[in-house]
Amino acid sequence: MEETSQKKYYFSNRDLLVIAILSGIGGVMSTYIGYLGNLVNRIFGVPFGAGQFVSGLHIFWFILAAGLIRKPGAAAAAGLLKGVIEMLTGSTHGVAIILVSLMQGLMVDLVIFVLRRHNLTSYILAGGIAAASNVFVFQLLYFSHAPFPYLLFISLIAFVSGVLLAGSLGYSVLEIVLQARPFHINNLTEEEMNNAAAVASNKKGFSFRITTTIVLVVLLSIGAVYYYAAVFEPPWIGPRCQVEGVVKNPLSFQLSHFNKHETTITAELKGKVSYVPAQEYTGIPVKVIIQEASPQEGAQQLHIIATDGYEVVFDLNEVLKDDQMLLIQEDDNLRLIAGNYGGEYWVRQVSKMSVK
């Protein structure tokens, strides 16, 4: 009888399915995570590096991939696929996000490979280092020349976020999955099985952990549903903006509607950690757009809102007199050029203007 041999691959079909599912969810959730960072900015007034407070949530998916598959390279594969999905769903970083995400996955794989353990210590260290790596990758890619102490500061914030939201949360979720046993997890050591049995025997502690983990996941899920239902503007609908609020004539427009008002200004971006020399920008004066919408009596503020929820506030009367504030089209998105304001007011991916 002729013997047949089945060809074995490094990643099984089950491994590839896990990587695809986790990368898909993580990639889609990436813009929501950016929105959470903007909420931190808005609530606590942290104009730079606010996204690093929640950067661990980007790494969470790689910890799950590493813990469920237990093969070197699983987190890197998840990182590569997640980066591609982020780019295709409209990441403001473009192709660069693929490199950033891949590097984060590689850091998770590297730490676990060096420590040779799938435990809480390995996961929190991997989560922290992977989360902090994005700060330096972006520095290398964009040459922002940010002060080194500032880079260390936001790297520390990202590291702590990775420890808590990637390493610790990921370990808790993996413990729950291990106890539920919905499918076989590869390469569990005898020590890990004993630890799982010890956790199961400590029902009070395990119940507390599963309760807190479920509550956190539910809160994040509710927030994500709200974000994608009420805030997010998909990039494939084209660069379009709305003017709403206390106006007589609400608008939903493209810049081409105001072509006859197109003008060119020279502006210099002066940010606290970034700088762009003076150059020319061509677009539509914001005051022209707001005048078309006809603000009602008593309106005092103009809120400029991006697709990811980032928001800045201007005095409406000042906007109506400002000749250095343009809305321009850049890389299939709308961008606010605020020549008389600091870099934090130069909003990318503008989707709404709300008069209040």
* Among 163, 168, 170, 158, residue whose Cα is nearest residue 51: 158
- Of 215, 231, 247, which marks where a domain is finished? 231
Residues 198 and 319 in one domain: no
pLDDT of residue 3: 46
The answer to whether the beta carbons of residues 126 and 107 sit under 8 Å apart is yes
Which segment, 63-67, 218-222, 308-312, is predicted with the most confidence on average? 63-67
User: Tokens 């321009």, residue?
Assistant: 328
| Cα(171)–Cα(119) distance, integer angstroms | 7
2 has a pLDDT exceeding 50: no
In a domain, 105, yes or no: yes
Give ∠ CA 129-131-132 in degrees, rounded to 5: 65
Q: Which residues form the domain of 53?
A: 13-231
Residues 241 and 212 in one domain: no
pLDDT band at 37 (very low <50, low <70, confident <90, very high): confident
6 has a pLDDT exceeding 70: no
pLDDT tens for each residue of 146-203:
677 878 888 999 999 999 999 999 998 888 887 766 555 555 555 555 555 555 555 5
Q: Is 268 helix (H, G, I), strand (E, B) or coil?
A: strand
* C-alpha distance across the termini of the chain, in Å: 82
Question: Domain of 29: which CATH number?
Answer: 1.10.1760
Q: Is 270 helix (H, G, I), strand (E, B) or coil?
A: strand
Element containing residue 241 per DSSP (H, E):
strand 241-245
pLDDT band at 290 (very low <50, low <70, confident <90, very high): very high
The answer to whether the beta carbons of residues 348 and 306 sit under 8 Å apart is yes
The answer to whether the beta carbons of residues 290 and 303 sit under 8 Å apart is no
Residues 117 and 176 in one domain: yes
pLDDT band at 144 (very low <50, low <70, confident <90, very high): low
Higher-confidence position of 138 and 305: 305
- Chain-wide mean pLDDT for the chain? 83
Q: Which tokens in the block code for residue 133? A: 């790596």
- Of 184, 203, 231, which marks where a domain is finished? 231
| Cα(47)–Cα(44) distance, integer angstroms | 9
CA–CA distance from 334 to each of 161, 235, 275, 307 (Å)?
Answer: 31, 11, 20, 10
Residues 203 and 302 in one domain: no
- Number of domains present in the structure of the chain: 2
Element containing residue 234 per DSSP (H, E):
none
pLDDT band at 4 (very low <50, low <70, confident <90, very high): very low
- Of 183, 216, 231, which marks where a domain is finished? 231
| Cα(4)–Cα(278) distance, integer angstroms | 70
pLDDT tens for each residue of 209-233:
777 878 887 888 888 787 777 766 6
* Among 118, 133, 109, residue whose Cα is nearest residue 56: 133
The answer to whether the beta carbons of residues 59 and 104 sit under 8 Å apart is yes
131 has a pLDDT exceeding 90: yes
| Cα(204)–Cα(5) distance, integer angstroms | 49
Residues 209 and 298 in one domain: no
In a domain, 247, yes or no: yes
Element containing residue 66 per DSSP (H, E):
helix 56-69
CA–CA distance from 198 to each of 149, 172, 176, 205 (Å)?
Answer: 44, 14, 13, 10
